[in-house]
Amino acid sequence: MIGTRSILVLSALLRVVLIVYGEWQDKHMEVRYTDVDYSVFSDAADLMASGKSPYGRTTYRYSPLLAFLLLPNTFIHHSWGKFLFSSADLLVGVFIRTILKQRWVPEKTCTYCVMIWLFNPFTFTIGTRGNCEPIVCATILWFTVQLVLVFCFAWDLPFCFFLQTVAFVAFNKLSQVGVMSNFVSPMVYEGVPCRDAPCAYQ
């Protein structure tokens, strides 16, 4: 069975290839690979780099933190944001595995769930085209991991469903529902005990 590290390396290489290909397609084809929102993000970052408000870009309706994260687009390379978003996508895979392991889900199932996320055409295309959704997904799962560690709710399935509901209501994105389903489903189908299992952090 292929290891998690190998999966992450292959996933990273796939995303690098797609980003490079996207640069070529943008220059040589009529239909651009890069998401139109990425130009908005980059313009906002340029404004912030020059000491102006990112909201000087008329269609920029996002957090100023996003423009701040993309400042290297201005002085390093305009594809910086795509690599950043793709890195967040890889973090989602790591967080999925972390949450599943905390619920004693078998290693084989954890690996399959990580692969479903990292090699899903829908997910790896989003980040490499310059959409910031992977950062939102990674933030949600990081928040979930912290709650599990701090409050020791790793064995409380109802609480996991509660987190799923909070994530859906707070962000209202189809991609987040998919993220939550990735680590909730194995708990159900593998028959992992919830309330009777000892907490690993007691």
Q: How many CB atoms lie within 10 A of CB 145?
A: 17
**Residue 159 pLDDT:** 63
pLDDT at 145: 72
**What is the structure's pLDDT at 168?**
57
Alpha carbon distance 53, 45 (integer Å): 9
Q: How many helices (DSSP H) and strands (DSSP E) are in the chain? A: 10, 0
The token pair that represents 196 in the structure block = 């009777």
Tens of pLDDT, residue by residue over 66-122, are 888 899 988 888 889 899 999 999 998 888 888 888 777 888 888 888 898 889 888
Which is nearest to 62 in space by CA: 49, 43, 89, 35? 43
Report how far residue 168's alpha carbon sits from residue 157's, in angstroms, rounded to the nearest whole number: 17
Instruction: Tell me, yes or no, if the pTM score tops 0.85.
Output: no
pLDDT of residue 162: 66
- The position carrying tokens 């990292």 is 118
Residue ranges in the chain modelled with pLDDT below 50: 173-202
**Domain ranges within the chain, ordered by starting residue:** 4-176
